[in-house]
Amino acid sequence: MTRVLLVDDQALVRSGFSLILSVEDDLEVVGEAGDGATAIELTRELRPDIVLMDVQMPVMDGIEATRRIVAEDLAKVLVLTTFDHDEYVFDGLAAGASGFLLKNSDAEHLVEAVRTVAAGHALLAPQITRRVIEQMVAGERPSSGTVGALRETAKPAPAGLALLTPREREVLELVGTGLSNAEIASTLFLGEATIKTHVSNVLSKLHLRDRVQAVVLTHRLGLV
């Protein structure tokens, strides 16, 4: 059972998310918060697996709450917002969010996003993945500092790249183009479970937290 904490300043939105998630046998909504400060308190108290986090809220915004929750290793955070702005994307990822999904996603994608993050995988909406790649290549972002921070956190030990097998190197490069595991599996004519294993090995050998850092790394090293 995956335990989920809902964080949004609109009670109606929280109710809607709760209805969507609670009908799933493997998901349990354990609490709700209307601001980032309360979210931190409840995360410490309830110890959910996933915090579904809004961005713009009173008292403390979702980005700062995410930063503190991740810093204390309390839970994984899936940032969910209507604001399709680069600064929220980059700040959320730099704060340590494991995923970023727009609120206009349908119920099926929301449920799958929670499951994906709970399984230990990073998740970005496809349009966000493309923008991350474009911004990394251009070396630009709306607010200062975060691109550099993401690049620094994605820097592996020099020997890490040499430890990859040829297949793992190939998978890394395809991850860098923004492809999902299923798309990589189709491209390489391999099973999706095999690709998941390769991705896990790549992240471990390069000391990367998630696929987002892998995307940044491939572009910083010119692999894509």
Q: How far apart are CA 157 and CA 141, in angstroms?
A: 26
| Chain centroid offset of residue 130 CA | 14
CATH, domain range 2-129 = 3.40.50.2300
Q: How far apart are CA 44 and CA 72, in angstroms?
A: 9
Give the model's confidence band at 142: pLDDT under 50 very low, under 70 low, under 90 confident, else very high. Answer: very low
Give the model's confidence band at 199: pLDDT under 50 very low, under 70 low, under 90 confident, else very high. Answer: very high
pLDDT digits (tens, 9 = 90+) for 52-103: 999 989 999 999 999 999 999 899 999 887 755 556 777 777 788 888 887 8
User: Residue 41: which of 9, 20, 72 has the closest Cα?
Assistant: 72
Where are the CATH 1.10.10.10 domain residues in the chain?
154-220
Q: Residue 175 is encoded by which pair of tokens?
A: 């991850």
CATH, domain range 154-220 = 1.10.10.10
Give the model's confidence band at 220: pLDDT under 50 very low, under 70 low, under 90 confident, else very high. Answer: confident
Q: How far apart are CA 214 and CA 211, in angstroms?
A: 5
Where are the CATH 3.40.50.2300 domain residues in the chain?
2-129
